[in-house]
A and B are shown apart, each in its own frame.
Chain A
Amino acid sequence: MSKVLGLTGDGAVAYAVKQCNVDVVAAYPITPQTLIVEEFSEYVHNGEVHTEFVCVESEHSAMSACIGASLTGARVFTATASQGLALMHEILYIASSLRCPIVMGVVNRTLSAPINIHCDHSDMMGSRDCGWIQVFVENAQEAYDWVIQAFRIAEDPDVLLPVAVNLDGFILSHSLEGVRVLDDEKAEKFVSMRKPVLTINPDKPVTVGAICFTDFYFETKRQHVEAMDNSPKTISKVNDEFAELTGRRYGFVDTYEMEDAEAAIVCLGSTAGTAMAVAKSMRAKGKKVGVIKPWVYRPFPTEQIIKATENLKALAVLDRACSVGAPYGPLCSDVIAALYREGIKLNLFNVIYGLGGRDIRPTDLEAIFNEALEVAKTEVVKEPVKFVGVRE
């Protein structure tokens, strides 16, 4: 029987990692990810896991150590946030390009300056082209569930890419929730052992990270793209097996009341939970609104977004990050690009919200839904990019 534990978002990640037979964790603490590292180091201290825990001096070193460990065939985990992810930036590309199936918890926090420890998605969005599979979760349960699935996805020989599981700093990382956890044996059976394909091994020497100039770099990058493009098959397979095991069904996007919605919100992470609650109360008043929550951000769920939006008259895309100088925020740019690919012209607007941990309230979301309904009715987008929650 599965049991329910009171866990924070960070605690849920640490608990999942404890159950996943992880060989090496190299990590450096940074708010609001610290609880993951703290709780996991307790598991190590108490002998509850066989993991080699490497206390490194920076995130740059953390990711470097993870790559070295992963290349030997080890199962590897790390976690970071904000400036830590930014400091890892160059090594993130090396991890994915060397096809190291590392799993990382990213506890989303904004980037300095001004210095701020609270939630937005600037950190991951700043590294979104690093070639990692990127998942965003809504609550601690999803954090637990996706970390377990992430090892299976990352290590699949058809994928061999690192996976970042993103959870909102403080909103999820430090909030206590009831999390339904698997029995250790069931989790262990599900994740099994990593079966590495190519490893560094003194008995069969290979060269990793050799120079690759104009004659081979492009081919190597093309392979990387192919691995990412093939990953949906594996992601779906793992989602299916996980649903069979737990009854909890994941996919590329989660949808709420989208069957007959006229207007909808697309957003990542914890905001989707609030948006769904607001949609529910608006539905009770006869307003046809729905929510689309991409779980998987990279590879971008183009098909699923097109399908989810096919009957909509208007869409609000919420970005908890801004790409200063770009026509839209990162998520909105991706949604537009996905629709454009199929020649779909949907009336939509972009909402930049919640930067530096600014709360997004149910009343804010209700106003956004109402504006989207207005766009659905008038077919006119008055303001393509709106800032919600900022003082004028």
Chain B
Amino acid sequence: MSESKPGWKSIPIAGILLEPGSAMKYKTGSWRAFRPVIDEEKCIGCFLCWIYCPDGAVIREEKSVKINYDYCKGCGICANECPAKAITMVEEKR
């Protein structure tokens, strides 16, 4: 992997990223060991999971939420905070 990337002579100094918003390019979903799965029947639409998600990986919709699995690291905070127990952490089997 590292061979195909630019070397020390051509990258900006000090690990500085010259382009803002580049975190979007770094998909962290592969870090996940457990995936949050929403039970829309149980969801009461309180959006606490959306508030608590440290990665902004919970997407707010009209009545319920969706998870962006490209960035969700599977920390489980959403499931822990959900007052309706509508989120289950399911083991990733890849």
Contact of B20 among A207, A217, A227 (CB under 8 A): A207
The 9 A-B pairs with the shortest beta carbon distances in the complex, nearest first, are A207-B17, A219-B8, A205-B20, A222-B8, A99-B14, A220-B15, A212-B15, A98-B14, A223-B8
Are A208 and B16 touching (Cβ within 8 A)?
yes
Are B8 and A226 touching (Cβ within 8 A)?
yes
How many contacts between A and B, using CB within 8 angstroms?
A: 56
Q: Who on chain B is nearest to A210 by CB?
A: B17
Q: Would you give the 0/1 interface string for B2-32, flagging 1 where the beta carbon is closer than 8 Å to chain A?
A: 1001111001111111101011000000000
Are B16 and A198 touching (Cβ within 8 A)?
yes
Contact of B2 among A207, A209, A214, A223 (CB under 8 A): A214
Are B5 and A216 touching (Cβ within 8 A)?
yes
Complex interface: chain A residues within 8 A of B20 (CB): 205-207
Complex interface: chain B residues within 8 A of A215 (CB): 1-2, 5
Contact of B16 among A207, A218, A222 (CB under 8 A): A207
A211 CB, nearest partner CB in chain B, Å? 8
Counting CB contacts under 8 A, is A305 at the interface?
Answer: no
Could you say which interface size class chain B belongs to?
10 to 19
Counting CB contacts under 8 A, is A350 at the interface?
Answer: no
Which residues of A come within 8 Å of B, CB atoms? Answer: 97-99, 160, 198, 205-210, 212, 214-220, 222-223, 226-227
Complex interface: chain A residues within 8 A of B12 (CB): 198
Secondary structure class of chain A's binding surface, majority of residues: loop
Are A220 and B8 touching (Cβ within 8 A)?
yes
B85 CB, nearest partner CB in chain A, Å? 33
| A-contacting residues, B21-54, CB 8 Å | 22-23
B24 CB, nearest partner CB in chain A, Å? 12
Complex interface: chain A residues within 8 A of B23 (CB): 210
The CA-CA distance from A215 to B26 in the complex, in Å, is 12
| A-contacting residues, B43-67, CB 8 Å | none
Are B13 and A210 touching (Cβ within 8 A)?
no
The CA-CA distance from A286 to B78 in the complex, in Å, is 83
Contact of B22 among A207, A209, A212 (CB under 8 A): A207
The CA-CA distance from A59 to B17 in the complex, in Å, is 28
The CA-CA distance from A214 to B12 in the complex, in Å, is 17
- Take A216-B11, A219-B11 as given contacts and tell me if A206 and B5 are in contact as well, using a CB distance cutoff of 8 Å: no
The CA-CA distance from A99 to B15 in the complex, in Å, is 10
